Structure 1
Amino acid sequence: MTRTHAIEHAHKHFDSGQFRATLARRIAIPTESQNPDRAGILGDYLETEMRPAFESMGFTCQILRHPKAAAPFLFAQRIEDPALPTVLGYGHGDVIRGLEPEWKDGLSPWTLTESGDCWFGRGIADNKGQHTVNMEALRTVLEVRGQLGFNAKYLIEMGEETGSAGLRELCAENQELLQADLLIASDGPRLRAERPTIFLGSRGSVNFDLVIDARQGGHHSGNWGGLISNPGIQLAHAIASLTTPTGQILIHEWVPKELPASVRRALADCEVDGGADGPTIEPWWGEAGLSPAERVFGWCSFETLAYKTGNPEMPVNAIPPRAWARCQLRFVVGIDPDDILPALRRHLDRHGFPMVKIITTRESMFQATRIDPDDPWVQWAADSIAKTSSKKPAILPNLGGSLPNDIFTDVLGLRTVWVPHSYPGCSQHAPNEHLPPAILREGLGIMTGLYWDLGAGGTPA
């Protein structure tokens, strides 16, 4: 049997409806980690779906727990020969809240439903559909070749949508158990629906509040206007000092010194396109001289996510006593995360805004990670995907969004290759989450080819 036979076998499995049935069963389990009433169901997903699936492929499984984690983890491994390469896989079985009342008529978050040219269901994109693709690809290689030809380990967590609490500590305490040569995992979207994609890390992210508390209570704007400061105006000017009118960041500690040549080369043929439902890119916004792909995957971006002063729902003729804004910095490798907020403090003080308080939020700070696009493992994966799909994959040095990839790179010391099986318009985290089945089918073939090549020898040292 050959690589071609394996990929054909994977496609037949998909076309037969067996893949759809497996995915439908998993989507029907309402694993909402943000809903305390579903706590018991999170463990059920591991015991009723993940454990039997892995054990049927000859994996040994164990449940791992950590005091900081509200939900358990499942670790599965199949060791064929310690001398062979070892790959670690990762996925999460928890999903965001279902938001049932907000779905279109005829759709339910817990029923895999075909409508138009898409399949709908909570978790189909994030992340049940994606780890199901990878698990079924492993199964295909085993069925066709009789063995993987490499050692496989897999970690499934059930708390990713609540910040992956305990994941870092669990990995630190189980470094030997999780030791591998490479992480191959799937999450997030492709660059475009029709183009296979690899991303090698993620941008970091930090959220913070900017607040001015000027005084107790509001004061009549006719009697006091022009005599006392307006926090809303002051905070607007403070925020405006952080960027140019076109969004270019003005705090030099918040931007990298340069865009590495390997990153520029990787992004040279990457076109950002959110599809028919995505917003229109505005070329005048953000860092000048960079392509859209370089701005979102190679640079940093600052955003004001929310702003409030006075009573927006019922304005009155009074100078408000307080102004508040929730802000966010997405940052790439090269930015010192420990200096982000101190640099902001220095900037505000220099520009005459000592009254602005900086308050950290409850959201975790995600660290920036990036594997060199010229790394031999990256080129090996890109060649495998191109061979299967007859398409040149997009290589993104990092995802534009954020995920805890630094746990795998910094704690476990792994190279990380992410192969997403979703697309930008999938509505993950929103009502009507969906995917075109064509992406899942192509992803199943791609991962079958990737795992086949991993077991065929000739991988990077």
Structure 2
Amino acid sequence: MAETTASSVAARDEAIAASQRRVDSGQLFAELRTRVARRTVSTDPDLVQEIEDYYSEDIGPAVEQMGFAWQRYDNPVSPGHPFVIADRTEEDAAFTVLLYGHADVQPPQTDQWREGLDPWTLTVDGDRWYGRGSADNKAQHTINLAALEEVIRLSDGHLGFSVRVLFESGEEAGSPGLSEFCASHRDELAADVFIASDGPRISAATPTVFLGSRGTTLLRLTVDERDRSHHSGNWGGVLSNAGTILAHALSSLVDAQGRILVEELRPTGIDDAVRRATDLLSVGTDPGDPSLTDDWGEPGLTPAERLFAWNTLEILDFLCGDPYQPVGAIPGTAHADLQLRYVVGSTTPGSVVSAVRAHLAAADLDRVAVESRGDMAATRLHPDDPWVRFAMESIEQTTGGVPALVPNLAGTIPNGAFADVLGLPTVWIPHSYPGCAQHAPNEHVLGPLVRESMQMMAGLFWDLRSHRP
């Protein structure tokens, strides 16, 4: 993987030490503080200029200082969510790495933050750095760029590999236009491997590598029997109840233990390499994690297999009548929103609606309408891929411990743009943890985790200098 001479080991150690000093001196905190202050909420059209300023005043100058040329691009689908590509090409490069980050954040929820905290002001309290975007995703891409900058500086400006960086600004809005943009800019984004950071580690204390994510399809089931409700005494027993019909539809899809009952929405099995990886994983081990529910989900699987190697169908809401002020009336309409999370090889986004419709029709429930409200494909690099071994070995060399290998994130990220559209092996190294409160009030990143992540990424970028895939 990496050079092993005494001088090369010393140089690697200095790169790691330099990245560590960047944290300890407060320099990285200051960089992140400036970026957190940008109100880059992608779902608020009034804040589009904040995204433009993030690119032109924060990211652009930072990558220029590292020897990158960068350019802003319009989004072909969503004008308020532009892209940036930064390129640092070396003539004798052995390969090219594509990095990624997203500039946007969730809405601030300002009035729900703990007293003394402000979402737009990076604030230290103990080991925690609080601020909107601190965990998702500004700290994560700030760490990667900062570690790379230290390696470039200690390499006298010669890495031996080229680097490209793609920034998007609509990830929190579902990444509109990302796949289309990647497809139309293949040449500018051409690379040999994709390395990025988002999402959480398996636990705060465990460095983690994941290789993709479960896919997702949002479904809405609707029962529309009549345009208004009717008195339940005068008409009960002779008028169909939309809520009753919908309840039976839901119970035909998933049972009382959370097991999926639609065969087409279930995986056919678990790949041996994926099973070996999940055998080493524990979930729900951090303080503050919820207690796992015994016997919930697919029987015969471990919690890690259920989370990372199987599909789940979750009922997100169920509405009929007025739940806040019930009245004695038979509801004429009802709807429920569901979310299918699925792994590679089990289903495809376009097949979910037709499978659910066919299942309901077979159960004499075809009066239930089914529509998709958005989907994203499942992706997973094979755990035995050489790039996976490289990343795992590099992190182990830096930390002295074997990192967790998660076949795919249990949640969903827009990895399909990189794995499917660009056709790249995708290696994700997250710098957050499950309790970071991303998308919620009091979002934060852990200071010790930031320090370790800087060391890991500096070691990895240093090892790439001598790597020959």
1:174 to partner: Cα distance:
0.8
Q: Does 1:98 align with 2:108?
A: yes
| Residue 15 of structure 1: how far off its partner (Å) | 0.4
- Residue identity matched to 1:15: D
Alignment-mate amino acid for residue 289 of structure 1: G
Partners of 1:227 and 1:275 lie apart in 2 by 53
Which structure 2 segments of 5+ residues have no match?
A: 1-9
2:160 is paired with a residue whose SS is: coil
Tell me what 1:252 maps to: 263
Q: 1:17 aligns with which of 21, 26, 46?
A: 26
Aligned position for 1:127: 137
Matches within 5 A, 1:41-56: 41-56=50-65
Structure 1 partner of 2:7: none
Distance in 1 (CA, whole Å) between partners of 2:458 and 2:294 is 38
Partners of 2:117 and 2:349 in 1: how far apart?
42
Distance 1:67 1:421 in 2: 30
2:179 to 149, 161, 168: 168
- Is the Cα contact below 8 Å between 1:118 and 1:437 reproduced in 2? yes
Query: Superposition pairs for residues 305-454 of structure 1, below 5 Å?
Result: 305-334=316-345, 335-361=347-373, 364-454=374-464
**Residues 130-177 of structure 1, C-alpha deviations (whole Å, 9 max, x = no match):** 000000010110122222221111011111111211111111111011
* 1:81 Cα offset (Å): 2.7
2 CA distance for matches of 1:27 and 1:260?
A: 41
Structure 1 consecutive aligned stretches of length 4 or more whose deviation exceeds 4 Å? none
- Deviating more after overlay: 339-348 vs 78-87: 78-87
Cα contact 2:349–2:376 (8 A) shared by 1: no
CA distance in 1, matches of 2:291, 2:167: 36
The reply to whether residue 212 of structure 1 matches residue 200 of structure 2 is no
What stretches of structure 1 of length at least 5 have no aligned partner?
A: none
- How far, CA to CA, are the matches of 2:402 and 2:335 in structure 1? 46
Residue identity over aligned pairs, in percent, reads 47
User: Are 1:26 and 2:35 counterparts?
Assistant: yes
**SS in structure 1 opposite 2:195?**
strand
- Please state how far the C-alpha of 1:83 moved relative to its aligned partner: 4.0
CA distance in 2, matches of 1:43, 1:97: 17
In the other structure, the counterpart of 2:3 is none
- Give, as a single letter, the amino acid of the residue that structure 1 aligns with 2:400: S
Distance 2:43 2:410 in 1: 24
Paired position in structure 1 for 2:6: none
Quote how far apart the aligned CAs of 1:94 are.
0.9
Q: Residues 105 and 172 of structure 2 are in contact (CA less than 8 Å); yes or no, is this contact kept in structure 1? A: yes
RMSD (Å), alpha carbons: 1.1
Q: What TM-score do the two structures reach when normalised by structure 1?
A: 0.97
Q: Distance in 2 between matches of 1:206 and 1:274?
A: 28
**Amino acid across the alignment from 1:178:** L
Letter in structure 2 aligned against 1:64? Y
Name the counterpart of 2:275.
Answer: 264
Q: Is the 8 A contact 1:308 1:323 kept in 2?
A: yes
User: Which deviates the most, 141-150 or 183-192?
Assistant: 141-150
Q: Using the alignment, how far apart are the partners of 1:185 and 1:117 within structure 2?
A: 24
C-alpha distance in 1 between matches for 2:317 and 2:285: 23
Question: 171, 179, 183: which one pairs with 2:190?
Answer: 179
Question: Helix, strand or coil: the match of 2:277?
Answer: helix
Query: What is the Cα deviation at residue 180 of structure 1?
Result: 0.3
Residue 147 of structure 2 is aligned to residue 137 of structure 1: yes
Distance 1:157 1:82 in 2: 29
Amino acid at match of 1:382: M
| Residues 1:277 and 2:278 aligned together | no
Q: Is the 8 A contact 2:92 2:160 kept in 1?
A: no
Kindly provide the CA deviation profile for residues 71-101 of structure 1, in whole angstroms up to 9, marking residues without a partner as x: 2211111111354111000001111111111
Counterpart residue number, 2:466: 456
Q: How many Å separate the matches in 2 of 1:61 and 1:294? A: 41
Q: Take 1:8 and 1:183, find their aligned partners in 2: how far apart are those partners?
A: 25
Q: Counterpart of 1:156?
A: 167
Q: Secondary structure at the match of 1:127?
A: helix
Structure 1 residue 274, shift from structure 2 partner = 5.8
1:64-103 correspondence to structure 2 within 5 Å: 64-69=73-78, 70-103=80-113
Does the CA contact (< 8 Å) of 1:11 and 1:445 recur in 2? yes
Counterpart AA for 2:197: S
Q: Is the 8 A contact 1:43 1:71 kept in 2?
A: no
8 Å contact from structure 1 (residues 247, 287) kept in 2: yes
Output the CA distance in 2 between the equivalents of 1:433 and 1:223.
Answer: 52
How far 1:68 moved relative to its partner? 1.2
How far did residue 16 of structure 1 move? 0.6
SS of the counterpart of 2:84? Answer: strand
How many angstroms apart in 2 are the aligned matches of 1:337 and 1:162? 18
1:299 counterpart residue number: 310
Structure 2 equivalent of residue 63 of structure 1: 72
| In 1, Cα distance between equivalents of 2:152 and 2:164 | 15
**Counterpart code for 1:352:** D
Question: Residue deviations 1:339-369, cap 9 Å, x none?
Answer: 21111011001111011111222xx311000
Mapped partners of 2:72, 2:335: distance in 1: 44
Structure 1 residues 142-151 or 315-324, which shifts more? 142-151
Deviation at 1:25, TM superposition (A): 0.8
Query: In the aligned structure 2, how far is the partner of 1:207 from the partner of 1:437?
Result: 35
> One-letter code of the match for 2:120?
W
C-alpha distance in structure 2 between counterparts of 1:117 and 1:20, whole Å: 13
Amino acid at match of 1:85: F
> How many angstroms apart in 1 are the aligned matches of 2:246 and 2:397?
54
